[in-house]
């Protein structure tokens, strides 16, 4: 099939490559000409494992091309995927203006038979408004379905090519048919298809992210309690996770969730529910957000307690991306902690295998080499659980620092090995006896 993918950020770039890998002929469109040009050269503007290689492959097969506006070629696409961002507005709601801009650009090129597929995360009700708007622009009833995307950064391509479900919301069942053809290989490989109405499809995405955020904040709330009573949130998580109704996934306590989706999506969901008069139903999500913010603050408190005062102290933060295998700094708890420490007067060195290029903070000293970053540190904070930090040699690390104390913000270190090497280990939600 011929496919256009509109918006080439994390979602769109990955989706364009995935569709090309499925054998379709893909035209990626982004109104930033520099982005389109870079992608044509095989350059991805962010780090995502495997994506660069897959892009080069589909470019060499002539399966994908990128451009900054629609043309005759893109106008003849069978499907147009809307993949633009819906960032958080200052009031917490989702900003859908890029979606409206995208359909205004698309309208003059839209044929009556082409299918428009919304993939962006939107407040429930947006698809209907977009459809009305598009109809007023084109003068016929456009074919639209809503097909939310659940990819995770770090495993984005794999998630796109092996989705655990394909959700399709439609007004007219026949409109889903071209999408079923486009995804035929995924469906044959076993991904279940869930067909439903459009508002439910919009809700599935935000509900899933709200649930995931709630799971993380739930275990982090238990961590708050555990810290007071001398209990262990990691052991607690393992023990409750054996109950299949609870499950052991997404129950890792630590400095909390960040990234371009979970924080923004719960705030957008709260804002939309309030607009709809059902704010009370989601008021618990405010606490989910609050628990998440408090975990970052807890690390600052622990650092303060450990060092007496933060002013002038050398602190090294291991990891600044919001999660490993990503260079995304959006809402990163690790980066936020590093910034707070610097604001309190600490001399903060930060290191990260992939994300340092995105750092624009003059108060943080970037150091790409992990062991060098530890030199003279009076406190080390493990903030993002990159494999290389999990595998750090505590003996070698100790030879670099001025004071061998580490806060494990992700509960990933082998505490006894670090203690045996002479470290004092502090962890979130755990009471660790040192020395
Ligand atoms: C999320 C959803 O998982 C994905 O389905 C959706 O499409 C986009 O948003 P992503 O933002 O890539 O994906 O990250 P995810 O793996 O969900 O992690 C989010 C945050 O939660 C990270 O900061 C991570 O460190 C944190 N987290 C996750 C925890 O603190 N504990 C956990 O147990 C799991």
DSSP letter string, 326-388: ----TT-HHHHHHHHHHHTT-EEEEE-SS-GGG---TTEEE-SSHHHHTTT-SEEEE-S--HH
- Whether 229 and 298 map to the same domain: the answer is no
- Whether 224 and 339 map to the same domain: the answer is no
Structural domain contains residue 435: no
- Whether 384 and 241 map to the same domain: the answer is no
Spell out the residues 6+ positions from residue 166 whose beta carbon is closer than 8 angstroms to its own: 147, 183, 186, 187, 191, 192, 193, 194
- Mean confidence (pLDDT) of the chain: 97
Mutate-to-test residue for ligand 1 from 11, 18, 259, highest number of ligand atoms within 8 A of CB: 259
Structural domain contains residue 163: yes
**Integer angstrom CA distances of residue 403 from 88, 388, 396:** 40, 21, 13
Mutate-to-test residue for ligand 1 from 14, 250, 326, 331, highest number of ligand atoms within 8 A of CB: 250
Nearest protein CA to atom 21 of ligand 1, as residue = 257
What is the Cα 151 distance to its own chain's centre?
8
Sheet holding 115-118, edge to edge: 64-67, 25-29, 2-6, 79-82, 115-118, 143-146, 166-170, 193-196
**For ligand 1, which residues put their CB under 6 angstroms from it?**
150-153, 209, 212, 216, 250-252, 254, 256-259, 261-262, 322-323
pLDDT band at 417 (very low <50, low <70, confident <90, very high): very high
Report pLDDT digits (tens) over 165-218: 999 999 999 999 999 999 999 999 999 999 999 999 999 999 999 999 999 999
Structural domain contains residue 191: yes
Q: What's the structural domain count of the chain? A: 3
Token code pair at residue 274: 């309030």
Average pLDDT over residues 331-357: 98
- Whether 145 and 216 map to the same domain: the answer is no
Cα(250) to centroid(ligand 1), Å: 8
Residue 133 has pLDDT above 90, yes or no: yes
Token code pair at residue 102: 């995208």
Atom of ligand 1 nearest to the CA of 156: 12
- Whether 275 and 302 map to the same domain: the answer is no
Atom of ligand 1 nearest to the CA of 259: 11
- Whether 300 and 423 map to the same domain: the answer is yes
- Whether 82 and 147 map to the same domain: the answer is yes
Token code pair at residue 217: 């904040």
Cα(115) to centroid(ligand 1), Å: 31
Atom of ligand 1 nearest to the CA of 256: 30
pTM of the prediction? 0.96
Nearest protein CA to atom 31 of ligand 1, as residue = 252
Average pLDDT over residues 142-153: 97
Q: What is the pLDDT of residue 256?
A: 98
Residue 347 has pLDDT above 90, yes or no: yes
Cα(109) to centroid(ligand 1), Å: 37
Cα 357–Cα 42–Cα 185 angle in degrees, nearest 5: 115
Average pLDDT over residues 422-428: 97
Atom of ligand 1 nearest to the CA of 323: 25
Report pLDDT digits (tens) over 235-270: 999 999 999 999 999 999 999 999 999 999 999 999
Nearest protein CA to atom 5 of ligand 1, as residue = 150
Structural domain contains residue 252: yes
Cα(355) to centroid(ligand 1), Å: 17
Structural domain contains residue 261: yes
Which of 196, 231, 259 terminates a domain? The answer is: 196
Nearest protein CA to atom 14 of ligand 1, as residue = 152
Query: If we measure between CA atoms, which residue out of 407, 435, 396 comes closest to residue 315?
Result: 407
Question: What does the alpha-carbon distance between residue 397 and residue 399 come to, in Å, rounded to a whole number?
Answer: 5
Structural domain contains residue 432: no
Report pLDDT digits (tens) over 44-99: 999 999 999 999 999 999 999 999 999 999 999 999 999 999 999 999 999 999 99
- Domain residues for 120? 2-196
Token code pair at residue 305: 């307690």
- Whether 221 and 191 map to the same domain: the answer is no
Which of 284, 318, 339 terminates a domain? The answer is: 284
- Whether 279 and 338 map to the same domain: the answer is no
Cα(213) to centroid(ligand 1), Å: 8
Report pLDDT digits (tens) over 11-27: 999 999 999 999 999 99
Cα(46) to centroid(ligand 1), Å: 17
* Torsion over CA: 232, 238, 304, 422 (sign): positive
% the chain with pLDDT above 90: 100
Mutate-to-test residue for ligand 1 from 261, 288, 321, highest number of ligand atoms within 8 A of CB: 261
Report pLDDT digits (tens) over 374-415: 999 999 999 999 999 999 999 999 999 999 999 999 999 999
Q: What is the pLDDT of residue 94?
A: 95
Is the Cβ–Cβ distance between 366 and 342 less than 8 Å?
no
Residue 435 has pLDDT above 90, yes or no: no
Report pLDDT digits (tens) over 24-45: 999 999 999 999 999 999 999 9
**DSSP for residue 324:** T
Three-state secondary-structure class, residue 42? coil
Nearest protein CA to atom 15 of ligand 1, as residue = 152
- Whether 239 and 143 map to the same domain: the answer is no
What is the Cα 389 distance to its own chain's centre?
21
Q: Which residues are catalytic?
A: 261
Structural domain contains residue 383: yes
Structural domain contains residue 201: no
Which of 232, 258, 284 terminates a domain? The answer is: 284
Question: What does the alpha-carbon distance between residue 268 and residue 285 come to, in Å, rounded to a whole number?
Answer: 11
């Amino acid at each position: 099939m011929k496919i256009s993918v509109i918006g080439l950020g994390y979602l769109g770039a990955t989706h364009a490559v995935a569709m090309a890998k499925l054998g379709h002929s893909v035209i990626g469109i982004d109104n930033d000409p520099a982005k389109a040009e870079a992608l044509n050269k095989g350059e991805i503007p962010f780090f995502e494992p495997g994506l660069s290689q897959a892009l080069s492959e589909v470019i060499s097969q002539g399966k994908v091309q990128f451009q900054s506006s629609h043309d005759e070629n893109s106008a003849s696409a069978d499907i147009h995927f809307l993949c633009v961002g819906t960032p958080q507005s200052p009031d917490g709601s989702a900003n859908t203006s890029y979606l409206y801009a995208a359909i205004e650009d698309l309208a003059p090129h839209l044929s009556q038979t082409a299918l428009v597929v919304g993939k962006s995360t939107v407040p429930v009700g947006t698809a209907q408004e977009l459809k009305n708007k598009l109809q007023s622009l084109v003068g016929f009833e456009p074919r639209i379905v809503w097909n939310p995307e659940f990819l995770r950064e770090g495993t984005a391509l794999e998630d796109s090519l092996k989705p655990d479900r394909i959700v399709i919301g439609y007004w007219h069942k026949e409109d889903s048919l071209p999408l079923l053809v486009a995804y035929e290989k995924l469906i044959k490989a076993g991904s279940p298809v869930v067909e439903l109405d459009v508002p439910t499809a919009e809700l599935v995405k935000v509900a899933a992210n709200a649930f995931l955020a709630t799971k993380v904040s739930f275990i982090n709330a238990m961590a708050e309690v555990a810290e007071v009573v001398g209990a262990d949130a990691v052991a607690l998580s393992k023990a409750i996770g054996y109950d299949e109704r609870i499950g052991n996934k997404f129950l890792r306590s630590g400095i909390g969730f960040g990234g371009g989706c979970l924080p923004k999506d719960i705030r957008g969901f709260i804002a939309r529910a309030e607009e709809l008069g059902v704010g009370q139903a989601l008021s618990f999500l405010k606490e989910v957000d609050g628990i998440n913010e408090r975990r970052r603050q807890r690390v600052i408190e622990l650092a303060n307690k450990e060092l007496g005062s933060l002013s002038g102290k050398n602190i090294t933060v291991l990891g600044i991306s919001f999660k490993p295998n990503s260079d995304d700094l959006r809402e990163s708890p690790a980066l936020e902690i590093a910034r707070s420490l610097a604001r309190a007067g600490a001399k903060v060195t930060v290191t990260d295998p992939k994300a340092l290029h995105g750092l624009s903070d003059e108060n943080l000293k970037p150091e790409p080499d992990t062991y060098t970053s530890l030199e003279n540190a009076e406190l080390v904070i493990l903030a993002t659980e990159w494999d290389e930090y999990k595998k750090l040699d505590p003996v070698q690390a100790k030879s670099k620092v001025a004071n061998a104390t580490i806060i494990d913000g992700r509960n990933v270190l082998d505490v006894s090995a670090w203690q045996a090497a002479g470290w004092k280990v502090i962890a979130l939600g755990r009471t660790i006896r040192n020395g």
